[in-house]
Amino acid sequence: MAVTFLQEFSPTDDRSTANYDTIKEQLGVDEDPPAGLIVHSAGYGQDGTFRIVDVWESQEHLDRFLSERLMPVVDNVWESQEHLDRFLSERLMPVVDKLMAANPDAPPPARQESYELHNVMTGVRSGVS
């Protein structure tokens, strides 16, 4: 069953996407999209909250991406095992603690969750990238 993965980062004065863009580049997802990813979106809401929303074919696909694609990036960037252990125990919450290129003091997501979806519709709209 399809699942969604949501992260919300509390509003700050910095509305740059440099941190997000750096992580995305390190993951290489444009050249090699992750198996099972249906859709990924990221952007600022009207209140300044930065949201990342993914829809995956299954929890297994999401878990595989986290362990096989994201963890190697985390392993290369994080400075201590303590941070890595925290990541593993909290699934992704603290990933921005050390991955943020432009702002290493950026807080972790204020909200993060994963849940099964009742319905998924896909479509293509011209002009949306």
Q: Which two tokens stand for residue 16?
A: 């740059």
- Residue located via tokens 């009207």: 46
> What single DSSP character describes residue 46?
T
What pLDDT digit, counting tens, does each position of 64-111 carry?
998 899 777 756 655 545 555 555 555 454 444 445 445 656 667 777
Q: Domains in the chain and their CATH numbers? A: 3-116 (3.30.70)
Which pLDDT belongs to residue 7? Answer: 86
Q: Which two tokens stand for residue 41?
A: 């979106």
CB atoms within 10 A of CB 40: 15
pTM of the model: 0.65
Which pLDDT belongs to residue 119? Answer: 57
- Residue located via tokens 């993965």: 5
Mean pLDDT of the chain: 75
CB atoms within 10 A of CB 5: 21
Which pLDDT belongs to residue 36? Answer: 95
Backbone angles phi, psi at 70, to 5 degrees: -75, -45
